[in-house]
Chains A and B, each alone.
Chain A
Amino acid sequence: MLDSAVRARLRDIVGESWFKDDMESLVSYSYDATPMQQSLPDGVVFPVTTKQVSDILKLANEHRIPIVGRGAGSNLCAGTVPVEGGLVMVMNRMNKLLEIDTDNLTATFQPGLNTKTFHLEVEKRGLFYPPDPSSMVISTLGGNIMECAGGLRGLKYGTTKDYVIGLEAVLPNGDIIRTGGKLYKDVAGYDLTKLLVGSEGTLAIITEATVKLIPAPKYKKTMVAMYKDIYAAARSVSAIVGNRIIPATLEFLDNSTIRVVEGFNKIGLPVDMEAILLIEQDGQDESVVEKDIVEIVRICKEQGAVEVKMAADAAEAEKLMLARRSALSTCARIRPTTILEDATVPRSKIADMVIAINEIARKYNVQICTFGHAGDGNLHPTCTTDARDAEEIHRVEQAFEEIFEAAIRLGGTITGEHGVGVVKAPYLEWKVGPEGIEIMKAIKRAFDPNNIMNPGKIFAKQSRKRVVIDHGGR
């Protein structure tokens, strides 16, 4: 509960109607897209200028009030759940696209700008901003930056951190800093821009960002390859890249996913296949795109694909991509609760990882469908369960713990694009080690000595003990 002087001060800063602490507001800002995570804030504030953000942070710092920055609340790590109460700072009133600079190929915007809206504006000018998280119809660019969002095009085009080149950010003491600029080269001191990207709201609130843009590819070709042997699919992925071809998207569906999608949608997927690869290539030159696809088809067949199909036109491409696009929604429909993880491994370890996931799912008797971005090793083991069944949820937790362990063992990471937030915090040490945690905590203290910025995220009160599981020498 905020004391009345603080509430009055907040109302002074943002205006009467933009600070709210009625039950309706507290409940509706108590969650994000993460299953089973909810906690009420003490108030919700909607700033509209950098100055207001600065004044709010100063006040919060003085009174030691937790500040949780929030865009659309579409993240999957409980990054915007106010686990220690305090103020949720909703940034969606600061949603202006400030500039698209076609001379420097950059765009500058406020953090509350909707990702999809931004994409459309950029594309109108024949330009391209590749990061495309599945939530882009609702997510904000500020949220994408704070979580370092990825998407389907990570392999060829990189993720959010590869595009952000300048930021305006407000520190917990109210200071306003500007990092980077419309600069493709800039080595003036520590790279604070990159440090803030993916910092999950634990260091500062960003109030403006500059990203680089690239020319939009003009042509796109889609194809699909099916495999009875999961290793053949994995070998194809490595062989494509090994042949110096980088596809725009290279998506993967495992047998559980194929069965579930086909069982529910009846779209004619072969349920006896162990894996399906969906591949898209894009580019400026139609003949180059065509050549790449022909070559990919050859490689897939050579590596043991049972069947390869090329889309003749956009409508057919749509149809081929339907299986991948239906994956999440089908999982969401078959059981009430859907837990979508993002364990990521080196590309060469994809088959091992999928097989490990299947073994773990069997061991704990839980349903896990695995699909994802094979090109960059970012898999989405997705568990369908029911939050109301405590016993099953316990098994799900055990299974995921073992999946994280397997990912680390294979040289991977606990999270490729969703962020640590609350849900991965107990496992962070597995990836970065106790020394890694210490230096991260020191950085956190330098920015936020009073620990008001999104407390309870990234750093767990207690790390999980890592039990290394013997998988029979593989």
Chain B
Amino acid sequence: MAAANGVSDPGAKELRPLAQTMKLQLDYDELTNCMRCGFCQAACPTFVETGLEAASPRGRIALMKAVVDGVMEPDAKFREQMNLCLGCRACEPVCPADVKYGHLLEQTRDSLERHDEHPWYIKAVRHVAFKRVFPNQNRMKRVGKLLRTYQKSGLPKLARRLGVMKLLPRNMREMEAILPEASDRGVVERLGTRVPAKGEKIATVGMFRGCLMDIMFTETNVNTVRLLSEAGFEVVIPETQNCCGALHAHAGELADAKELARRNIRAFKEAGVDYIVSNAGGCGALLIEYDHLLRDDPDYAEDAEWFASRVKDVSLMLLEKGRPPEFAARRGESADGAPLTVTYQDSCHLRNVMRQSNAPRSLIGRVGDVRFVELTGADRCCGSAGIYNIVQPNMANDVLEHKMEHVKETNAHYLITSNPGCLLQMKLGIEREKLGGRMEAVHIVDFLYDRISSRGHD
């Protein structure tokens, strides 16, 4: 059963430096665990779009293994293929062998970054973003303030009139237009670090506020805290927490991701919480894998397990442990015979890594006078995928276009999501399809909080 025709045994050839790094970084057991059944392919957005084996999880794993085995050079096309992956991890729940593709991808991207071939300006941007801004919430707030100043000034209008925006790529230009109003006053500035439970306290939950979430979607963070409090939780928001590190991990900056993880673990340990709640699937998915991220760190491995075992998405927290209040459509939203219609787009990381697809749907199902329509392909990535829609605009556009075909079929008034990236992408899709008058994309927490029956619906 020996391999033939150039597919040699591991280590047969001398490896080049990048391949060497990959050989050290990649989990060879995990590479071997892929039994190449291909069941992942039907779930993979880039395979469905291209039909090319290399653009599928099975194909990418085969390529990684070929590099580690010295069969192929990690050339420019290899790099491109690894970057084309959305990292949505839809391949993982359908994998019979339970291969952690996401980990292999992160290890590969980390190796690629160590031997990066970025031009100097990209290096500079990456350095500022990954090392200076994202790790530091105060700097994030300054970004928020800057953005807000820009948004409030006449500049955006002026820029659009002068056609300056046309210099930006289409996706960034359109994204700029749909960006919510930024803020430098995050959830702690709005509510303080401790919010008591309404009624008898069930547990103390630590709120993970997220870095971008807190400056771009402060209102959602505020509503999350209020909703948790309504449901019987005391909410603590440790001030020393920072970015989860997901953007770093996905972009191949594993060392930075680990450092951010250690700081978050310290922050929440000190706060003495029973649970750690996230309202962004993208963040939650990394938080819940801190145990994996720090498994080789003797000082943190145990605490990382403590942390990971306590992470829950806000929907599950409310449903499983809480006393969620009654929800109903607001007055006038539901006319006789034409109830308020809503649909839900899964957050890939919430569904595929945190494995939560039922909790958000069940919560939406509790809202009175609302008709829920399942979105065909809701489990498939919308193309946002972190910064993917900016770095891989063509593929992201194809994916979004197909997504919006199904969204239109639902005729929903609200398109509900569980992650800020998805939310922005869905807003972008609605804008592009000119559905703005009759459909709105909204975070599940905001949708629910606005429909708490006892709030009187003014």
Residue of B nearest to A326 (CB): B96
- How many residue pairs bridge A and B at CB < 8 Å? 110
A371-401 interface with B by 8 A CB criterion: 386-388, 393, 397
Q: A69-86 vs B: 1/0 string, CB under 8 Å?
A: 000111000000011110
Q: Is the CB of B51 within 8 A of A336?
A: no
Alpha-carbon distance A336/B29, docked complex (angstroms) = 7
Residue of A nearest to B54 (CB): A28
Alpha-carbon distance A74/B1, docked complex (angstroms) = 18
Q: Which of A32, A386, A393, A397 contacts B36 (CB 8 A)?
A: A32
Measured CB to CB, the closest approach of chain B to A67, in angstroms, equals 16
Q: B140-158 vs A: 1/0 string, CB under 8 Å?
A: 0000000000000000000
Contacts of B32 in A (CB 8 A): 336-337, 386-388
Interface size on A, residues (CB 8 A): 46
Alpha-carbon distance A56/B458, docked complex (angstroms) = 70
Most chain A CB within a 10 A radius of its CB, from B29, B37, B62? B37
Secondary structure call for the A interface: loop
Known: A27-B72, A387-B32. A33 touches B38 (CB 8 A): yes
Query: B372 interface residue, CB < 8 Å from A?
Result: no
Measured CB to CB, the closest approach of chain A to B97, in angstroms, equals 4
Measured CB to CB, the closest approach of chain A to B306, in angstroms, equals 24
B81-112 interface with A by 8 A CB criterion: 81, 94, 96-98
Query: A137 interface residue, CB < 8 Å from B?
Result: yes
Query: B164 interface residue, CB < 8 Å from A?
Result: no
Alpha-carbon distance A32/B62, docked complex (angstroms) = 11
Q: Is the CB of B73 within 8 A of A31?
A: no
Contacts of A450 in B (CB 8 A): none
Known: A28-B59, A39-B5, A336-B29. A135 touches B42 (CB 8 A): no
Contacts of B434 in A (CB 8 A): none
Alpha-carbon distance A332/B35, docked complex (angstroms) = 8
Residue of B nearest to A328 (CB): B96
Q: Is the CB of B37 within 8 A of A33?
A: yes
Q: Which of B5, B52, B63, B77 contacts A82 (CB 8 A)?
A: B5
Query: B41 interface residue, CB < 8 Å from A?
Result: yes
Contacts of A40 in B (CB 8 A): 5-7, 71
Interface size on B, residues (CB 8 A): 35
Contacts of A386 in B (CB 8 A): 32
Contacts of B51 in A (CB 8 A): 92-93
Q: Which of B6, B36, B78, B97 contacts A24 (CB 8 A)?
A: B78
Q: Is the CB of B38 within 8 A of A72?
A: yes
Q: Is the CB of A135 within 8 A of B5?
A: no
Q: Is the CB of A36 within 8 A of B5?
A: no
Query: B203 interface residue, CB < 8 Å from A?
Result: no
B38-76 interface with A by 8 A CB criterion: 38-39, 41-42, 51-54, 59, 62-63, 66, 71-73, 75
Alpha-carbon distance A28/B35, docked complex (angstroms) = 14
Known: A22-B77, A23-B75, A30-B7. A135 touches B1 (CB 8 A): no
Query: B4 interface residue, CB < 8 Å from A?
Result: yes
B11-53 interface with A by 8 A CB criterion: 29, 32-33, 35-39, 41-42, 51-53
Q: Is the CB of B96 within 8 A of A329?
A: yes
Q: Is the CB of B4 within 8 A of A83?
A: yes
Query: A128 interface residue, CB < 8 Å from B?
Result: no
Q: Is the CB of A24 within 8 A of B3?
A: no
Interface residues of A (CB under 8 A from B): 22-25, 27-40, 72-74, 82-85, 90, 92-93, 114, 116, 135, 137-138, 328-329, 332-333, 336-338, 386-388, 393, 397, 423
Contact sample, A vs B, 15 pairs, CB 8 Å cutoff = A23-B77, A24-B72, A24-B77, A27-B72, A30-B5, A33-B37, A39-B3, A93-B51, A116-B42, A138-B39, A329-B97, A332-B35, A332-B37, A333-B96, A337-B32
